[in-house]
Amino acid sequence: MTGKEIIFHNWNEHLQNEETARLKNIQKLIDFYNGEHQPYLEPYLKLRDLDDFPFYETNITKRIIKKLAEVYKKAPIRYFGEKQNDKYNELTKKKNIRMKTIERQSRLLGTIGIQPIIIEKNKQKVFDYLMLRSYTAYLKGLEPVAIKYLIQDDGEEKFYEYWDNEQHLILDSDNISVNPKPFGFEDEKNDLGIIPFVWCPNDFLIDDFYNTGGSADDLINANLHIDLTLSEMCHKYRYDAFNPIWGKGNIKDLDTTYSYDKILWLDDPDAMIGNLNIDHNFMGDIELIKTQIQLIERNYRLNINWGISGNTSGFSLIVQNIDHQDDLTDMTDVCRGWEDDLLEMERIVGSKYGIKVPTNEFRIDYAEVQMPISIEEQNKKWTFEFNNHLSSRADYWREQNPDISDEQIIEKQRQISEENKTVKVAEQTEPTVTDLFK
């Protein structure tokens, strides 16, 4: 059965409801990552008037995701036949920065798609990479036989882009094919012969193509609780800071005017006045919020300190983050699979546009994520490596400045050599104290 037959004939109401709920949750994950939290807080705050309620939102979700996704923190090096290919690097200039974002979004959503496309820049064809976060896949086992995703919603009608191995269509809300010309293409045939997306789950798939168990649902729920606690604490502070006044007696409205820069004048001898003396334990709220944040960090095997006193060594930081390092090792293996699949798709897409992607054996070298160390520790490390011929001066300069060019390194070596010669000559010609008194 083709992908089109599946979508037109076997997509029942139950599956549609499940898919609607999944796509709605995807949007919630994206909103929390983007810092758009307030719509999800309002249903839990049952107040008469929310217009002046001080919502407080803190984007823990984005902070944790960025800390987790460190495989592409530094750009990897790609080799073809054990050598870098300058033409390929020129074709894929955007790849490293795109992969950094893709890793973060995969950590957030579970599985995302990447579509390599060809764009023209400075009259030269190069690759760019489109990211697909919200989509519907029609599956045969764990393999998509067709996909569709929303590309336009004008409030009255929704339009979806649809792919299978044979067709590339535009569908309306009733899954009926419409004229594709307004959407930038005419031929409804898929010339590539394959759905042009690479799927990037953040773990090896077992029984769920969408990898919903790998999404950050627990993280955004925790973020929601923290936002609610912060918002409620800010609301309590307004009452505590103002210390509301109460009154009893026959008092005219004009007499009850009160503000921080006005006095309250009472003419009724039987009137009574006082204040509520609200005294909330805000430190208790703060400690609760800290505990919630630290629980998130522990659940994600991170160690983010609230404050460091004294000189914490690099070795100490490594020990504190050993679990995170193990997770990065596992994630690096997953990312190698992404790179292999993406290279194969680049070859397919490139061939359509006359772009030759290298066919040599491919290998990728990911940069090691290192913990910060003190200047003293750095000096000991480099001294040991220089003395044992494990590193060169060029390695040291590249560590200090990853953007330094080979020409700049050669110039530095020349300058240092010239300075050393000058110093040596000066030391040889300068008279000693004994010479001066002869």
pLDDT, tens digit, for every residue of 3-45?
666 665 555 666 778 888 999 999 999 999 999 998 998 888 7
- Cα atoms in the Cβ-side hemisphere of radius 13 Å centred on 283: 0
User: Which of 22-31, 253-262, 287-296 is the least confident region?
Assistant: 253-262
DSSP state for residue 36 in the 8-state scheme: -
Write down which residue in 354, 373, 392 finishes a domain.
373
Tell whether 420 and 359 lie within a shared domain: no
Question: Is the residue at 210 inside a domain?
Answer: yes
Is 341 in the same domain as 381? no
- In the chain, the largest separation of any two C-alpha atoms, in whole Å, equals 110
Residues 310 and 319: their CA atoms lie apart, in Å, by 17
Tell whether 70 and 10 lie within a shared domain.
yes
The position carrying tokens 């460091």 is 308
Percent of the chain with pLDDT strictly greater than 70? 74
Q: How many domains does the chain divide into?
A: 2
At a CB cut-off of 8 Å and minimum separation 6, what does 377 contact?
Answer: 313, 314
Q: What is the pLDDT of residue 325?
A: 80
Same domain, 282 and 360: yes
Q: What does the pLDDT read at residue 101?
A: 96
Instruction: Residue 94: give the domain boundaries.
Output: 1-243+278-373
Kindly report, residue by residue over 128-186, the tens digit of the pLDDT: 999 999 999 999 888 999 999 999 988 888 999 999 999 999 999 888 888 888 888 87
Residue 309 sits in the same domain as residue 388: no
Q: Which whole number is the average pLDDT over 302-319?
A: 52
d(CA 169, CA 413): 60
- Give the pLDDT score at 429: 60
Whether residue 49 is predicted with pLDDT greater than 80 in this model: the reply is no
The pLDDT score that the predictor gives to residue 317 is 47
Q: Are residues 72 and 214 both part of a single domain?
A: yes
Residue 422 belongs to a domain: yes
3-class DSSP state for residue 203?
coil
**Residue 315 pLDDT greater than 50, yes or no:** no
Do 382 and 307 fall into the same domain? no
Q: What is the DSSP letter of 167?
A: B
Given 373, 397, 418, the domain boundary residue is 373
Is 262 within a domain? no
- pLDDT score at 3: 64
Confidence of residue 314 (pLDDT cuts 50, 70, 90): very low
Please check whether residue 104 is in contact with residue 65, taking contact to mean a CB–CB distance below 8 angstroms: yes
Contact 230, 249 (CB under 8 A): no
Predicted pLDDT of residue 431:
59
Query: What are the tens digits of pLDDT across the range 86-134?
Result: 999 999 999 999 999 999 999 999 999 999 999 988 888 999 999 999 9
Q: DSSP 3-state assignment of 77?
A: strand
Q: What percent of the chain is predicted at pLDDT more than 90? A: 41
Residue of 200 and 389 predicted with greater confidence:
200
Print burial letters for 199-225: b (CB count within 10 Å at least 16), e (below 16): bbbbeeeeeebbbeebbbbebbebbbe
Considering 329, 358, 373, which residue would you say is the last residue of a domain? 373
Confidence bin at 308 (pLDDT 50/70/90): very low
pLDDT in tens, 373-408: 656 667 777 787 778 887 888 888 777 776 777 888
Report which of 133, 176, 173 is spatially closest to residue 33, judged by C-alpha positions.
133
Residue 161: per-residue pLDDT: 94
Q: What average pLDDT does the segment 70-90 reach?
A: 92
Higher pLDDT, 221 or 258: 221
Residue 363 CB coordination number (10 Å): 13
Dihedral (CA of 137, 142, 146, 147) sign = positive
Maximum mean pLDDT: which of 42-46, 342-346, 434-438: 342-346
Same domain, 424 and 285: no
On the question of pLDDT at 352 being above 50, the answer is yes
State the amino acid at position 420 in one-letter form. Answer: N
Lowest mean pLDDT among 29-43, 106-120, 231-245, 261-275: 261-275
Overall average pLDDT of the 352-380 stretch: 81
pLDDT band at 229 (very low <50, low <70, confident <90, very high): confident
Res 199: pLDDT: 97
Distance of CA 204 to the CA centre of its chain: 20
Check residue 223 and report its DSSP letter. H
CA atoms within 13 A on the CB side of 226: 22
| 365 and 383 assigned to the same domain | no
Amino acid identity at 75: A
Q: SS3 for 146?
A: strand
Q: pLDDT grade, residue 359 (50/70/90)?
A: very high
My answer on whether 107 and 211 are in the same domain is: yes
Buried b / exposed e over 38-68, threshold 16 CB at 10 Å, is eebbeeeeeeeeeeebebbbebbbbbbbebb
269 occurs within a structural domain: no
Looking at the fold, whether 343 and 391 belong to one and the same domain comes out as no
- Compute how many other C-beta atoms are within 10 angstroms of the C-beta atom of residue 374: 12
Q: Are residues 310 and 188 in the same domain?
A: yes
Q: For the chain, state the CA radius of gyration.
A: 32
In a domain, 256, yes or no: no
258 located within any domain: no
Binned at pLDDT 50, 70 and 90, residue 428 comes out as: low
Q: Which of the two residues, 109 and 318, has the higher pLDDT score?
A: 109
Summary mean pLDDT of the chain: 81
Number of alpha carbons in the 13 Å side-chain half-sphere of residue 127: 31
Q: What is the mean pLDDT of residues 233-259?
A: 63
Encoded tokens for 53: 């309620």
**355 within domain boundaries:** yes
Q: What is the helix, strand, coil percentage profile of the chain, to 5?
A: 45, 15, 35
Q: Are the beta carbons of 131 and 101 closer than 8 angstroms?
A: yes
Residue 351 inside a domain? The answer is yes
Residue 364: pLDDT band with limits 50, 70, 90: very high
Q: Cβ neighbours of residue 24 under 8 Å, at least 6 residues apart?
A: none
- pLDDT for 35 equals 92
